[in-house]
Structures are given as C-alpha cells and as structure tokens.
C-alpha cells in the first residue's frame, strides 16, 4: 500500500493503516496534531475531556482535503472520544474501546495539559495537584494503558508534548514547569524500558504557541510583543526567530517523530520554540 504524502511534510511516511490516539485534541496543538495525522492517512482517536470539542472538530471539512475527518471513507479518519486523562479507570476503558473499535494503537500523542500561573507563595494545593494530575499523571495513565500492547506487537511510537518551560526556569510557572519536567523524564524512562520492544518514546517541547492556552496569558495588547522581544523584568528571553509558533509547527515536529523517518530516534526532546531557550 502506498503512503499518503502531504505537501509541507516532505518524505514523512508510515501512517497509512496506523491507529493514533491523541489526548487534549479539542483545540490548539492537539487539534493540529489530529488534522495532520488524518491528512497523512492515519485513523485517529481524537480524545478530550470536552467531548463536544472533538466531535465538532471531526465534523468540520478539512481545508486541505475538503473531506470531513469523521467521514471515514478512504485513507484517514477521525473518531472522537471523551476522555479525562486524570481518571485511570476511564483511560483503561477508553484505550480498550479504541482497540476494539479502530484496532491496536500504533501512535500515542500526549497533548492534554493545563497551565496555572502564580508565584509560588500564591499557588494553592489545588493548583499544584490539578497541574500534576493532567500534565504528569495523565501522561503516565495513558502510556501505561497503551505501551504494553505496542510492545507485544513489536512497534509503536509515543510522543509527549511537554514545554520549553521544562528546560528553563520561569517566574510564575513553578507548578507547570515542574510538571512538564516530570513528564519529560517519565517519557525518556519509558523509552529506555521499551526500546528493545521496538517502541520509541520522544518529547516535543513547544515554546509560545498561538492557542487558547497562550491567549490566556495575554493580559494587554502589548503582551505578544513582549513574548517576541523578551522581558528583562521577568528574566524572560525573547524568541530569536521572531515569531510565535502556529499549532502546525508543533504538529509537524510530532508527526516527524512518529514517522518512519524517525525510526532510529528515541528518548529525544525536540524543542520547537524559535530558539527561545537558547539551547
């Protein structure tokens, strides 16, 4: 079977006939990952705590293919599922259901995440617990439910969307940055444990990306300019490439790591932040 190729992602192959599970797929980066996997010919389980958001996104005609992702005809289809990644029983049930309805999961993309900002002294117990529940436990629950099946079949790919905040301290972001650093190391340990089983586990670390999560940080009209220029008062570097990422920039890195072209890449952390962390 020849692979479906898409202009803009040259040479990325290995998606036809594959089943992908994406968490946090209702908007922003998760929705872009779903669209891209769909265009590449994958069957995608688009999951989110907000079922209506994934159902609506799947019903909208795709601007590139003109086809509604939920139509299901030809290569590529999107199937919406409600899933709260903080609920381990729901994760087990939904993974089992996706396996039954769509087939064994080949690609897992952990995108669901939340951001609570506050100085440390003002972070509540609930802020801390909620942040770790989604950003860390969520990644653990989904990976634990999916990866043993991949290993039994001898192949699979996990990509965790973390953040460049995992690699550089940020004021007001202690809970978020700590949670993302935990998710990064969890994903790398997972990659080591399962390398001999043919399962690759990698991280994509976005910088500021044009989504509702980012918009929530913009308190005045100058905020996007401060993101680009940096802000010495908060010890924040700017973005050397001079632009805020589109969700598609992040999705392209995710699908590269999921593709056959990345077959010898595991336990890596790919920063997609326009150089913001000066790595």
Ligand X SMILES: NC(=O)c1ccc[n+]([C@@H]2O[C@H](COP(=O)([O-])OP(=O)(O)OC[C@H]3O[C@@H](n4cnc5c(N)ncnc54)[C@H](O)[C@@H]3O)[C@@H](O)[C@H]2O)c1
Q: CA–CA separation, 76 vs 91, rounded Å?
A: 23
Cβ neighbours, 10 Å, residue 210: 17
Structure-block tokens of residue 259: 């593709």
Per annotation, catalytic residue among 81, 176, 194, 271: 176
Closest distance of CB 17 from ligand X, Å: 26
Q: CA–CA separation, 107 vs 258, rounded Å?
A: 7
Between 195 and 216, name the residue whose CB sits nearer to ligand X: 216
CB 28 within 8 A of CB 48: no
Instruction: Determine if 28 is a binding residue for ligand X (CB under 6 A).
Output: yes
Q: How many residues bind ligand X (CB under 6 A)?
A: 31
CB 19 within 8 A of CB 107: yes
Mask of contacts with ligand X, 235-254, x by CB under 6 A?
--------------------
* Catalytic status, residue 176: yes
Structure-block tokens of residue 216: 């929530």
- Of 67-126, binders to ligand X (CB under 6 A) are 83-86, 111-115
Between 40 and 162, name the residue whose CB sits nearer to ligand X: 162
The interface region with ligand X, picked from 9-17, 45-53, 186-194, 230-238 by CB under 6 A, is 45-53
Q: CA–CA separation, 223 vs 226, rounded Å?
A: 5
Q: CA–CA separation, 138 vs 144, rounded Å?
A: 10
- Catalytic positions are 176
Which residues sit at the interface with ligand X, rule CB under 6 A? 23-24, 26-30, 48-50, 53, 83-86, 111-115, 134, 138, 161, 163, 206, 208-209, 211-214
């Amino acid at each position: 079977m020849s692979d479906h190729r898409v202009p803009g992602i040259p040479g990325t192959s290995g998606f036809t006939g594959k089943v992908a599970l994406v968490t946090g797929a209702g908007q922003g980066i998760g929705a872009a990952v779903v669209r891209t996997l769909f265009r590449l010919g994958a069957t995608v389980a688009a999951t989110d705590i907000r079922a209506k958001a994934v159902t609506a996104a799947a019903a909208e005609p795709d601007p590139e293919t003109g086809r509604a992702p939920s139509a299901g005809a030809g290569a590529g289809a999107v199937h919406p599922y409600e899933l709260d990644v903080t609920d381990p029983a729901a994760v087990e049930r939904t993974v089992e259901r996706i396996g039954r309805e769509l087939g064994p999961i080949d690609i897992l993309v952990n995108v669901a995440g939340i951001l609570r900002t506050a100085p440390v002294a003002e972070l509540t117990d609930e802020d801390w617990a909620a942040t770790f529940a989604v950003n860390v436990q969520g990644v653990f629950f989904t990976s634990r439910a999916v990866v043993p099946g991949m290993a039994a079949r001898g192949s699979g790919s996990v990509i965790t969307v973390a953040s460049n905040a995992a690699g550089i301290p940020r004021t007001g972001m202690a809970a978020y940055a700590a949670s993302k650093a935990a998710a990064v190391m969890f994903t790398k340990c997972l990659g080591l444990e399962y390398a001999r089983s043919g399962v690759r586990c990698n991280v994509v670390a976005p910088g500021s990306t044009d989504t509702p999560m980012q918009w929530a940080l913009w308190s005045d009209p100058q905020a996007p300019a401060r993101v680009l220029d940096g802000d010495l008062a908060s010890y924040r570097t700017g973005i050397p490439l001079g632009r805020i990422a589109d969700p598609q920039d992040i999705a392209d890195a995710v699908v590269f790591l999921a593709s056959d072209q990345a077959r010898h890449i595991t336990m890596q952390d790919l920063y997609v932040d326009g150089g913001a962390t000066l790595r």
